[in-house]
């Protein structure tokens, strides 16, 4: 590595304190001895690179932006080339590098579909005319309470006003809840005592009795499939990691940014100890001693509660060295994302934690061999992990008997849009789409169903004739759709789909990491086509040409992109056209 060239701008006292606070535990990458300076060397520097993201958060939070002086100081302390750190800072929506005048809080207003049909455009206009500083945001993971907002504080905590309202689980008190049973029972999410009284940490004790290998085999036997969207068998993943040697990691992927999804936020806010316990079991089972939980930057309450759960668990000896009086070491560290959907893609998430741009890596190699810090890594979604508690307690076979043969267990569904009671619902796999819709009080608005966006922006639209479809991985696959992260976003007959689809296209355009050509430019061309289609009657054969373009772009993005974002960027839009949700405007005879 080279001698760094640090520009002339100097940090303010405030900025220096902000950075120092983040790195004080481990010290700077450069050690000073009197007048002389001794550079710490490559190893010392590489060990600290992962502090870049927390340090950028600290600068943004305290100074209101990432200033040249602040970045210089940070780069000097961590010995990161300023161009690289700037490249990282500009990757994220929550960091501003060009806005020194920015002294007030920023209100992020969701403009994605569930909020769009609830009137986000009016909310934006109202807040603007009230003089608020507005940032139009992709889905904020609060789709059950549109129009969603998140306030990015300057020098004071970030906050979500809706978090101050009392929380109500629509299914509270219902029998048969598994994943939601502690929430339904009102277990205090801030208290380890309350969690333990409700049976918490019995699963970890049982895991120790079973032994690591047996835990992995029970998870394999359970048939548990990942709930983050890709539906990969968790047991197989764990078995692969368990078979590796040396330093290994467990990562909880709580970056939840798939439009329409708010299940992981609900779990983190209201059942945080379950996630911490399950991650600990994952560490024990795979032989990983280090765990990370990467929480979406726009989730201040979830972050607070997970951090509290970790602190209390550590205080009680459930995390750290020799957990629960065993010889097993495991600890968890929280990382906050900073506004980038792509960082939910597992390899982008690794890069993000490591202090690099959140660009996905080409697979193979897979995370089980080359994951976080290039080490074997078991990465799972919070909902996936919470299932593990029952699997360890009751055994894999008992879990496998729930749901269907191909889709064991129960699933959380995120109901939003034109539906009676939007919110989080749990049902065993095999329940039909119509039954879940009924659970949530059926279609609201006109009462007549136009379409459902199933699986999120990366999923597809389905029509009323899909209401009898069982919600299982196998039935979805057979129907050519995906359950994704459990999104069920409902549109009644009054919704005009063109603006929804145009916004969907804009979402992918904005969220593409920009690494590979098919997605970086393809998502832009797709959005341009949607803008053109939405702009009114088309002349001659432009409409047909544009539909042809959409189809050809879809094929290329699916075939040639690096990651799932590009692969699915056109899926929902094309499904809407296939369903006939958009008709060719008249007047062209």
Partner 1 sequence: MTSSSERTATSSERTATDTSLETPVRLSIDEVDVEVAAGASVLDACTAAGIDTPTLCFAENLTPVNACRICVVEHEGSRTLIPACSRRAEDGMAIQTDSERVRHSRKMILEFLASGVDLSQADPLASLVSEYGADPARYGDAVATMDEDVRIEDDLYVRDYDKCVLCYKCVEACGDDAQHTFAIAVAGRGFDARISTEFDVELPDSACVYCGNCVAVCPTNALQFTTEFDLRTAGEWRPDEQTTTRTVCSYCGVGCNLDLHVQDETIVKVTSPNDHSVTSGHLCIKGRFGWGYVHGR
Ligand X SMILES: Cc1cc2nc3c(=O)[nH]c(=O)nc-3n(C[C@H](O)[C@H](O)[C@H](O)COP(=O)(O)O)c2cc1C
Contacts of 181 (CB under 8 A, 6+ apart): none
Instruction: Give Cα 186 to chain centroid, integer Å.
Output: 25
Euclidean distance between the first and the last CA atom of the chain, given in angstroms as a whole number: 66
Residue 585 interacting with ligand SF4 (CB under 6 A): no
Beta strands in 116-269 (DSSP E): 133-137, 149-152, 249-254
Site for partner 1 in 3-42 (CB under 8 A): 4-5, 7
The 460-462 sheet, strands edge to edge:
423-428, 410-417, 487-492, 449-454, 460-462
Of 55, 59, 148, 285, the residue at the interface with ligand FES (CB under 6 A) is 148
**Span from 60-68, 294-302, 332-340, 559-567 in contact with ligand SF4 (CB under 6 A):** 559-567
Nearer to ligand SF4 by C-beta: 169 or 343? 343
State both tokens at 351: 């890069």
Site for ligand X in 432-471 (CB under 6 A): none
Size of site (CB under 6 A) for ligand X: 24
Cα–Cα distance, 403 to 408 (Å, whole number): 5
**Span from 18-26, 94-102, 111-119, 278-286 in contact with ligand FES (CB under 6 A):** 111-119
Provide the 8-state DSSP code for 375: S
Of 207, 332, 340, 534, the residue at the interface with partner 1 (CB under 8 A) is 340
Cα–Cα distance, 135 to 322 (Å, whole number): 46
Contacts of 535 (CB under 8 A, 6+ apart): none
Q: Is the dihedral of CA 112, 113, 114, 117 positive or negative?
A: positive
Helix (H) or strand (E) holding 241, with range, is helix 234-242
Nearer to ligand FES by C-beta: 161 or 551? 161
Nearer to ligand FES by C-beta: 455 or 470? 455
Q: Least CB distance from residue 32 to partner 1, whole Å?
A: 22
Residue 251 interacting with ligand FES (CB under 6 A): no
Here's the x/- map for ligand FES, 122-141, by CB under 6 A: it reads as -----------------xxx
User: Nearest to residue 336, comparing CAs of 17, 60, 80?
Assistant: 60
CB atoms < 10 A from the CB of 69, how many? 18
**Span from 190-198, 255-263, 459-467, 509-517 in contact with partner 1 (CB under 8 A):** 509-517
Residues β-bridged to residue 95:
none
Residue 518 interacting with partner 1 (CB under 8 A): yes
Residue 588 interacting with partner 1 (CB under 8 A): no
Q: Is the dihedral of CA 467, 470, 476, 479 positive or negative?
A: negative
Residue 558 interacting with partner 1 (CB under 8 A): yes
Residue 298 interacting with ligand FES (CB under 6 A): no
Site for ligand SF4 in 496-515 (CB under 6 A): 512-515
Nearer to ligand X by C-beta: 23 or 519? 519
Contact 213, 241 (CB under 8 A): no
Q: Least CB distance from residue 133 to ligand FES, whole Å?
A: 19
Positions that interact with partner 1 (CB under 8 A): 1-2, 4-5, 7, 68, 71, 81-87, 90-91, 97, 340, 357, 362, 509-518, 520-525, 528-529, 531-532, 545, 549, 552-553, 555-556, 558-562, 567
């Amino acid at each position: 590595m080279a001698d760094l060239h640090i520009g002339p701008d100097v940090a303010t006292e405030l900025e220096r304190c902000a950075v120092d606070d983040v790195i004080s535990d481990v010290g700077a990458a450069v050690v000073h001895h009197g007048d002389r300076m001794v550079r710490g060397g490559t190893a010392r520097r590489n060990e600290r690179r992962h502090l870049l993201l927390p340090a950028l958060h600290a600068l943004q939070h305290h100074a209101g932006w990432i200033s040249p002086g602040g970045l210089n100081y940070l780069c000097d302390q961590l010995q990161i080339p300023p161009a690289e750190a700037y490249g990282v800072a500009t990757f994220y929506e929550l960091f501003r590098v060009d806005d020194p005048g920015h002294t007030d809080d920023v209100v992020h207003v969701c403009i994605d579909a569930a909020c769009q049909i609830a009137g986000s455009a009016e909310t934006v206009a109202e807040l603007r005319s009230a003089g608020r500083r507005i940032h139009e945001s992709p889905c904020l993971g609060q789709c059950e309470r549109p129009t969603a907002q998140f306030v990015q504080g300057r020098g004071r905590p970030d906050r979500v006003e809706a978090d101050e309202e009392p929380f109500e689980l629509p299914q509270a008190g219902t029998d048969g809840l598994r994943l939601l049973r502690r929430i339904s029972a009102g277990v205090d999410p801030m208290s380890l005592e309350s969690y333990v009284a409700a049976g918490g940490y019995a699963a970890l004790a049982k895991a120790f009795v079973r032994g690591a290998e047996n835990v992995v085999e029970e998870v394999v036997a359970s048939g548990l499939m990942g709930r983050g969207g890709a539906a990969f068998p968790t047991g197989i993943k764990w078995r692969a990691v368990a078979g590796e040697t040396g330093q290994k990691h467990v990562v909880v992927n709580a970056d939840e940014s798939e439009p329409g999804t708010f299940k992981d936020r609900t779990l983190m806010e209201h059942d945080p100890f379950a996630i911490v316990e399950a991650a600990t079991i994952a560490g024990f089972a795979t032989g990983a001693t280090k765990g990370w939980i990467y929480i979406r930057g726009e989730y201040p309450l979830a972050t607070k509660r997970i951090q509290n759960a970790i602190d209390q668990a550590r205080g009680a000896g459930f995390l750290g060295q020799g957990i629960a009086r065993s010889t097993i070491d495991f600890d968890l560290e929280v990382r906050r994302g900073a506004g980038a959907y792509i960082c939910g893609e597992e390899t982008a998430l690794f890069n993000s934690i490591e202090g690099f741009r959140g660009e996905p890596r080409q697979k193979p190699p897979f995370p089980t061999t080359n994951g976080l810090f290039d080490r074997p890594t078991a990465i799972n979604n919070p909902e996936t992990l919470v299932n593990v508690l029952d699997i360890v307690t009751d055994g894999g076979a008992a879990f496998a008997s729930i749901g269907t043969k191909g889709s064991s267990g129960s699933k959380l569904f995120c109901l939003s849009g034109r539906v009676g009671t939007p919110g989080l619902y749990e049902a065993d796999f095999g329940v039909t789409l119509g039954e879940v819709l009924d659970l949530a009080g059926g279609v609201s608005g006109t009462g007549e169903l136009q379409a459902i966006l199933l699986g999120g922006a990366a999923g597809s639209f389905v029509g009323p004739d899909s209401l009898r479809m069982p919600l299982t991985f196998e039935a979805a696959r057979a129907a050519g759709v995906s359950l994704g992260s459990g999104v069920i976003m409902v549109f009644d007959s009054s919704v005009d789909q063109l603006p929804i689809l145009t916004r969907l296209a804009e979402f992918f355009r904005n969220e593409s990491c920009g690494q590979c050509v098919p997605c970086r430019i393809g998502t832009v061309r797709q959005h341009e086509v949607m803008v053109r289609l939405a702009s009114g009657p088309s002349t001659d054969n432009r409409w047909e040409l544009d539909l042809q373009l959409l189809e050809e772009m879809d094929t290329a993005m699916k075939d040639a992109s690096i990651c799932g974002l590009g692969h699915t960027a056109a899926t929902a839009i094309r499904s809407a056209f296939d369903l006939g949700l958009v008709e060719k405007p008249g007047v062209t005879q």
